[in-house]
Amino acid sequence: MFPATFEYYAPTSLEEALNLLRQNPEAKVLAGGHSLIPAMKLRLATPPALVDLRRIPGLSGIRLEGDQLVIGAMTTYYDVQTSELVRQHVPVLAEATDVVGDLQVRNWGTVGGSLAHSDPAGDYPAIILALGAEVRARGPQGERTIPIDQFFVGMFTTALQPGEILTEVRIPVMGPGTGAAYVKFPHPASRYAVVGVCAVVGREDNICRQARIAVTGATLYATRATAAEQALQGQTLNADTIRAAAERAPEGLTITGDRVFASEEYRTHLVRVLTRRALMAAVEKIR
């Protein structure tokens, strides 16, 4: 199998890449290629041109800026997993990366690609959403910052406009009193999430001051389970309050099932179970 023909560009600066996208409105950005190339081989995607970001310096790397951990779009899962900065400041991200795809996929898939793709079964969309990050993008109109709550808008669709390139994601560092965990039920063959839930909790005087819970796999795109979040707000964090909140996790979510593998009912059940487990684990990890 090989893709339909296309033009290939390997710009060496962001300006050049943005110009190429302006000149080729149907072109697609190529990052790690681990979603795009399989889709092109199956001819599910037939872009007339690819703009490869690989040779643009400065798009990958991890740094600390004030109370934000900044991860460049072309940073690979591998780089995230092996980063001391990530382990120290957002440990859940390093831990969760271990369950994305497989070793080879983690070696080459990128943070920017995983978010820009908005795969309904992707892991990073839920994790980055729960972490309350923000995304930076550069486009014809210059640079803008998009809060993650406004970033995922549909299946394979984000707030990125045509011609825009995601350049980095900015994640608030996890301070004292906060804990987070990602729990995933992987499809046994593909390793993608049948359902995945990421929970981030903040505790003060044993009271839940903040909870962000995001679901992937069950919904068309990564979505927050706001009913469960609200149910925890102001509560003492224990097995009972967590169970009660997790029961409400599917409320307000549009959960979809498929006939082949996991029905809507089953996925709804998994949303409850995995929310409970993610919350229990997150509380366990509060430091």
Partner 1 sequence: MARVSIRINGVLHEADVEPRLLLVHFIRDVAGLTGTNIGCDTSQCGACTVIMNGRAAKSCTFLAVQCDGAEILTIEGLAKDGQLHPIQQAFWEKHGLQCGYCTPGMIMTAYHFLQMNPNPTEEEIRHALEGNICRCTGYHNIVKAIQYAAELMRGGAPAPTPAD
Ligand X SMILES: Cc1cc2nc3c(=O)[nH]c(=O)nc-3n(C[C@H](O)[C@H](O)[C@H](O)COP(=O)(O)OP(=O)(O)OC[C@H]3O[C@@H](n4cnc5c(N)ncnc54)[C@H](O)[C@@H]3O)c2cc1C
> What pairs with residue 72 in β-bridges?
168
* Distance (Å, whole) CA 160 – CA 116: 8
- Binding to ligand X (CB under 6 A): which residues in 30-59? 30-36, 38, 53
* Distance (Å, whole) CA 248 – CA 225: 8
Give 76's DSSP letter.
B
Per-residue interface string for the shown chain with ligand X, residues 188-207, x marking contact by CB under 6 A: ---xx---------------
- By residue count, the chain amounts to 287
* Distance (Å, whole) CA 25 – CA 18: 10
Q: Which residue in 190, 233, 236, 254 binds partner 1 (CB under 8 A)?
A: 190
Query: Applying CB under 8 A, does 6 fall inside the site for partner 1?
Result: yes
Per-residue CA distances from 257 to 231, 246, 268 (Å): 26, 20, 9
Q: Which residue in 7, 15, 67, 143 binds partner 1 (CB under 8 A)?
A: 7
Q: Which residue in 160, 197, 215, 222 binds ligand X (CB under 6 A)?
A: 160
Q: Which residue in 18, 86, 92, 116 binds ligand X (CB under 6 A)?
A: 116
- Binding to partner 1 (CB under 8 A): which residues in 68-87? 78
* From ligand X, partner 1, none, interface partner of 185 (C-beta below 5 to 8 A by class): none
Query: Applying CB under 8 A, does 8 fall inside the site for partner 1?
Result: yes
Piece of 59-67, 97-105, 174-182, 203-211 that binds partner 1 (CB under 8 A): 97-105
> Strands, E, within the chain: which ranges?
7-9, 28-30, 49-52, 62-65, 68-72, 134-139, 142-147, 152-154, 157-158, 165-172, 178-186, 193-204, 207-216, 223-224
For every residue of 105-169, DSSP letters joined together read HHHH-BHHHHHHHT-TT-SHHHHHHHTT-EEEEEETTEEEEEEGGGTEEETTEESPPTT-EEEEE
In the bound complex, what is the minimum distance in angstroms from residue 233's beta carbon to partner 1?
37
- Residue 56: count of CB within 10 angstroms of its CB: 22
Residue 52: both structure tokens together: 């490869």
> What pairs with residue 65 in β-bridges?
68
Q: Is the CB of 42 or the CB of 207 nearer to partner 1?
A: 42
Query: Applying CB under 6 A, does 112 fall inside the site for ligand X?
Result: yes
Q: Which residue in 15, 65, 102, 251 binds partner 1 (CB under 8 A)?
A: 102
Q: Is the CB of 97 or the CB of 178 nearer to ligand X?
A: 97
In the bound complex, what is the minimum distance in angstroms from residue 139's beta carbon to ligand X?
10
Per rule CB under 8 A, count of chain residues that contact partner 1: 31
Q: Residues in the site for partner 1, rule: CB under 8 A?
A: 1-8, 10, 30, 33-34, 37-38, 41-42, 50, 52, 54, 78, 98, 101-105, 107-108, 189-191
